Amino acid sequence: QVQPVESGGGLVQAGGSLRLSCAASGHTFSTYTMGWFRQAPGKEREFVATISSTGGSTFYADSVKGRFTISRDNAKNTVYLQMNNLKPEDTAVYYCNRDRTPFTSVQSMSRKNFGSWGQGTQVTVSS
């Protein structure tokens, strides 16, 4: 399986915004739930947001609810994470991943551990 490729990270001041992109390969992209996760220095990787195969259902970690928005464009095999009102505690490497079976729920993907990850994209929020 080829891992998705994340992009769009950078350095931003607290209160600012960034939009991350995740480009995936394969003609079956539209059948899989996709998710964003992040790992801060010295911490375990954590769930951020997931989106269903059609984009009709989303699920967020409490820490980002109301500030982050996950979306997808199945025609472009791409998932996005719009991050607004960023805080220093959002500083992390952000990764996206595809669930391993099609048409899973957004909640179930949020609880899974995945054995393979892409390189991620660094987000740094200064205070």
The reported pLDDT for the residue numbered 36 is 98
Compute mean pLDDT per 10 residues along the chain, 127 residues long, and list them: 90 98 90 97 96 97 98 97 98 96 92 91 97
The reported pLDDT for the residue numbered 64 is 98
The reported pLDDT for the residue numbered 2 is 77
The reported pLDDT for the residue numbered 115 is 85
The reported pLDDT for the residue numbered 26 is 81
CA distance linking residue 109 with residue 122, whole number of Å: 22
What is the sign of the dihedral through the CA atoms of 10, 14, 17 and 19?
positive
The reported pLDDT for the residue numbered 1 is 65
CA distance linking residue 29 with residue 5, whole number of Å: 13
Eight-class DSSP state of 42? T
* Residue 54 neighbours by CB distance under 10 Å: 12
* Residue 116 neighbours by CB distance under 10 Å: 8
